Amino acid sequence: MSFDYVNIQRPGGASGLPVSEKSFRDVLIERGLSLRALAPEVLQVNVGKLCNQACKHCHVDASPTRTEIIEKTTVDACLEAIGKYRIPTLDLTGGAPELIPDFRYFVTNAVQLGAKVIVRHNLTVMTVEGMEDLPEFFAENRVELVSSLPYFQERETDAQRGNGVFEKSIGALRRLNEAGYGMPGSELTLNLVHNPVGAFLPPDQSQIEADFKRELLERYDINFTGLFTITNMPIARYLDWLRRSGNEAKYMSKLVNAFNAATVEGLMCRTTLSVDWLGNLFDCDFNQMLDMRILGDQTIFNLDLKTLVHREIRIANHCFGCTAGGGSSCGGTVV
């Protein structure tokens, strides 16, 4: 696995925005559309950039060398918000959320508050020392798992996520199946994520899900609940790759040409409140990586949720990634 992607310096040290022949704002105006928030249904907390992998498409620039992780005071502020505002779902992402010291504290307390907990679990973290019992911990807390497996073959998966990741992921999926995750009739949810391994759009979600189900069962005797297709977002490490490979202009044209107005109503930014490892608030995890904070001066520490309903969502050209084709969200296609 190469870690070259980790050390790429961008001009001014900031994540760049993709260049596009049309702006996302102009396209919304042309169609008479606007993007405003509804009441948050999901508190999505990005607990930090530390990860045991360094995937080529990662929009977080996460890797084993990153040190930015959430502190317990921020975890407590998130828990307070969940309890106070009865936010139904806590969605933990990173990095690898399991690597932060307060991960289990965060999960168990959120469950006690009555929240459903989703963990974006990269599968291979289970092979890290001290993480072997994760399947049982997840099962005890009825955690819903969302795990990236770009393809049911080694070549594509390792090309995106690093050498050896596919084999480790298959081992981890077997462990999760043994714990009841993803098995037919089980209430323990294990959803997989398919990202295109390159500069193209994902296929039809139900069709590729059927391929994954058939191939993973036949080849490896593995079961899972469902599959989400997620469009690669043209920011951070993936944008760096698009630029280095000469694919940025074509990829952005592809996204713009595939703009689907029907996706706008169901975009996840409308019902999600995104929190970073420092407690800052964003409309989504992608805006978080671009440091596009929600309008106003609220953080998780002085949150007044009522004032955030109907807020204007901050947009830029990367938003074309969520509106292309069937749309894209952390829960797969939108329409």
Partner 1 sequence: MSYYEEDDLPRFGEMGKHVPELYDKFMAWYAACQEDGALSKREKALIGLAVSVTIQCPYCIEAYTNSSLENGSNMDQMTEAIHLASAIRGGASLIHGIQSHNAHDKVSM
- What are the start-end ranges of the E strands in 31-185? 42-46, 89-93, 116-120, 144-148
Compute the CA torsion angle 162, 251, 332, 262 (nearest 10 deg): 180
Q: How far is Cα 173 from Cα 181, in angstroms, rounded to an integer?
A: 9
Using rule CB under 8 A, residue 253 touches partner 1: yes
Of the candidates 153, 163, 260, 302, which one interacts with partner 1 according to CB under 8 A? 153
- Given the complex with partner 1, which of 156 and 285 has the nearer CB atom? 156
- Given the complex with partner 1, which of 34 and 207 has the nearer CB atom? 207
Span of 63-71, 197-205, 286-294, 315-323 interacting with partner 1 by CB under 8 A: 197-205
Of the candidates 24, 103, 151, 181, which one interacts with partner 1 according to CB under 8 A? 151
Q: How far is Cα 26 from Cα 34, in angstroms, rounded to an integer?
A: 11
Using rule CB under 8 A, residue 156 touches partner 1: yes
Binding mask 101-140 for partner 1 (x = CB under 8 A): ----------------------------------------
Kindly give the residue spans of alpha helices, DSSP state H, lying in 12-95.
Answer: 24-30, 72-85
Q: What's the closest the beta carbon of residue 106 comes to partner 1, in angstroms?
A: 36
> By the 8 A CB rule, do 327 and 263 touch?
yes
> By the 8 A CB rule, do 180 and 232 touch?
no
Using rule CB under 8 A, residue 144 touches partner 1: no
Span of 39-47, 96-104, 149-157, 174-182 interacting with partner 1 by CB under 8 A: 149-157
3-state secondary structure of 307: helix
Token pair, residue 314, equals: 């901050």
Q: What's the closest the beta carbon of residue 197 comes to partner 1, in angstroms?
A: 9
Query: Contact residues for partner 1 (CB under 8 A)?
Result: 151, 153, 155-156, 196, 198, 200-204, 207-208, 211, 253
